[in-house]
Each structure stands twice: as structure tokens, then as C-alpha cells.
């Protein structure tokens, strides 16, 4: 009898425990990075799967500085579609980064990404501004050559106010530019005068610098020349007529003398004709 009673109590407790137990957890969340190793300036796709009944999930970046998710921050809230959520990761510096998949305060899964820094170029990097002097509001093209195997170059400005650079990722005081054949270019402009220093590198190491001078008005080129070509004008004759004021013989006196000679010749002719007429019988 006691055995049956004990067995009944055990069965009852088991039923209560089964009723009070929470529903079975959803399958484990899995997160992957593709690729798992990238270079500075590259990107990796982060994919998390295994969500059930969740509308959105959060990705966080921890570890080395310089990492960012889609949108530019170290944290991104991403919608879940068919149990899957995706974002992208990039870094401006080398190191090992950890991507966490977070629901509320609980970390559901993690994955690591290694970001490698490119080797410095074996050839000397040259940075040129063309032109080196501009007026406020004008532009100068900043070109870096000898960047080696670098895929993305970073250009930056000093703290002189008013200057900005325009690269492949927008306009700011620090921008990126795609490298092709070891060469990359950005555009510089300024709203204020001053001497601006532009640097280029890989985000960690500066390879070369150049300065750009901004003035109130554009400076004439050292090689430019201006030659005036004379052309006929109404003032040319007047200038020639007035040449006598500078020591030349006035043209008007030439005509006066010529007129006097003609009048004198006429008078002489008349006198001769009258004398001839008187001499005749």
C-alpha cells in the first residue's frame, strides 16, 4: 500500500513539473563570417541563423579598435527574415575582432574576424598637389603614387580650419580612396585661407605628406605669360597726330606748309601771265 502511495506521489510531482516547465528552446543560434580574414579596408559578411519568433537581433563588435558594422557603428540592430539576420563588418586598423549576436542582454553566439594590415610599399610613396596654390573655393587634386599592393589609401588633413577632402567615401577631413596600379587621388578644397598639410597612408602609417596654399585670390602661374597684340583703332591716328608733343614734327604743320607752297605757286603764275600779256604789241 505504501509503495503504491509513494508511486502515486512521484507521478503527481512529475506531472506538475512537466506542466510548469517552459517550452523547449529554439535551435541554437549560429553565426559565421565570410571571409574570416580580411585586409584593412576590406569587408566581411556576418550571417546569423537559427532564430525563431524573433523580429530583430543585435550585432556588437568588440576587441581591437577600428572595427565597424554596416552603418558605421560598433552596434547594429538587424531585422530577422526567415530566421536569418545579416550585416557587414569592416575595419580601418588591423587586429582580431569579435562579433557578438545579442538578444537583449544575452549573447547568443560569437565569431572572430582577423584584419591584417598591408605591408608598407617597397617603393617610395610620392604625394603631389596640382595645383599647389589655389584660391578660396577652388580645388586641388591630391595624387599619391607608389602605394604598392595597398587596396585602399587613407588621406587626412591637419587641424587648419576650413579644409576638406573628397574621396570614395564622401567629404571630410579624413577620407578613403581606392588604389589602382599603386595610385590613388582625392580632391582638396577650402573655405578659408591658410597652408594645409595633407597626408596619405594605410590608416596606421603615414607614407607621405604635401602642403597646399589657399589664398584670397588665385596666384598667377610662374610659367604663364601675357603678350599684348596691337590692333588698329581710332586712337592710333590721333596718337600719331599728337606725336609732336613728345618731340616729333606735328603732322598738321606739314599740311599748312604744303598749302602755303600751293598758294605761292598760284600767285607767281598769275604775275607771270600778266607781264606776258603787257609785253605783247
Q: Are residues 93 and 130 in the same domain?
A: no
Domain holding 63, by residue range, is 25-116
pLDDT computed for residue 93 by the predictor: 82
C-alpha cell at 154: 587613407
pLDDT computed for residue 72 by the predictor: 87
pLDDT computed for residue 268 by the predictor: 58
pLDDT computed for residue 69 by the predictor: 94
For residue 183, give the DSSP letter. Answer: B
In a domain, 271, yes or no: no
Q: Are residues 163 and 192 in the same domain?
A: yes
In terms of Cβ atoms closer than 10 Å to its own Cβ (0-12, 13-18, 19+), residue 148 is middle
Looking up cell 574621396, which residue turns up? 167
Q: Is the full-model pTM beyond 0.85?
A: no
Series of mean pLDDT values for 10-residue runs along the chain (281 residues): 52 47 54 92 91 90 89 92 94 90 90 85 89 96 92 91 94 93 95 96 89 80 38 41 47 63 65 59 54
CB 40 within 8 A of CB 118: yes
Q: Provide the domain count of the chain.
A: 2
In a domain, 166, yes or no: yes
Collapsed DSSP state (helix, strand, coil) of residue 265: helix
In a domain, 131, yes or no: yes
Q: Are residues 76 and 147 in the same domain?
A: no
Q: Are residues 109 and 191 in the same domain?
A: no
CATH number, domain at 205? Answer: 2.60.40.10
Q: Are residues 132 and 197 in the same domain?
A: yes
Please state, in angstroms and rounded to a whole number, the distance separating the CA atoms of residues 197 and 185: 15
Amino acid at each position: 500500500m505504501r509503495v503504491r502511495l509513494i508511486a502515486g506521489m512521484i507521478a503527481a510531482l512529475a506531472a506538475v513539473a512537466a506542466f510548469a516547465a517552459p517550452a523547449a528552446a529554439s535551435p541554437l543560434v549560429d553565426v559565421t563570417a565570410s571571409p574570416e580574414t580580411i585586409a584593412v579596408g576590406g569587408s566581411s559578411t556576418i550571417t546569423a541563423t537559427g532564430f525563431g519568433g524573433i523580429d530583430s537581433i543585435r550585432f556588437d563588435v568588440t576587441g581591437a579598435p577600428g572595427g565597424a558594422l554596416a552603418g558605421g557603428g560598433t552596434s547594429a540592430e538587424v531585422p530577422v527574415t526567415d530566421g536569418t539576420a545579416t550585416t557587414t563588418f569592416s575595419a580601418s586598423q588591423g587586429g582580431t575582432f569579435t562579433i557578438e549576436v545579442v538578444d537583449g542582454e544575452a549573447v547568443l553566439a560569437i565569431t572572430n574576424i582577423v584584419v591584417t594590415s598591408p605591408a608598407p610599399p617597397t617603393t617610395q610613396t610620392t604625394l603631389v598637389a596640382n595645383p599647389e596654390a589655389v584660391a578660396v573655393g577652388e580645388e586641388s587634386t591630391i595624387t599619391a603614387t607608389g602605394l604598392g599592393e595597398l587596396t585602399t589609401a587613407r588621406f587626412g588633413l591637419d587641424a587648419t580650419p576650413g579644409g576638406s577632402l573628397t574621396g570614395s567615401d564622401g567629404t571630410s577631413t579624413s577620407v578613403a580612396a581606392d588604389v589602382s596600379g599603386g595610385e590613388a587621388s582625392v580632391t582638396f578644397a577650402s573655405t578659408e585661407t591658410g597652408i594645409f598639410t595633407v597626408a596619405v597612408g594605410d590608416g596606421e602609417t603615414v607614407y607621405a605628406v604635401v602642403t597646399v596654399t589657399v589664398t584670397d585670390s588665385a596666384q598667377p602661374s610662374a610659367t604663364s605669360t601675357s603678350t599684348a597684340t596691337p590692333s588698329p583703332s581710332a586712337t592710333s591716328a590721333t596718337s600719331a597726330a599728337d606725336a609732336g608733343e613728345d618731340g616729333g614734327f606735328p603732322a598738321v604743320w606739314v599740311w599748312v606748309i604744303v598749302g602755303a607752297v600751293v598758294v605761292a605757286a598760284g600767285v607767281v603764275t598769275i604775275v607771270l601771265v600778266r607781264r606776258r600779256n603787257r609785253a605783247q604789241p
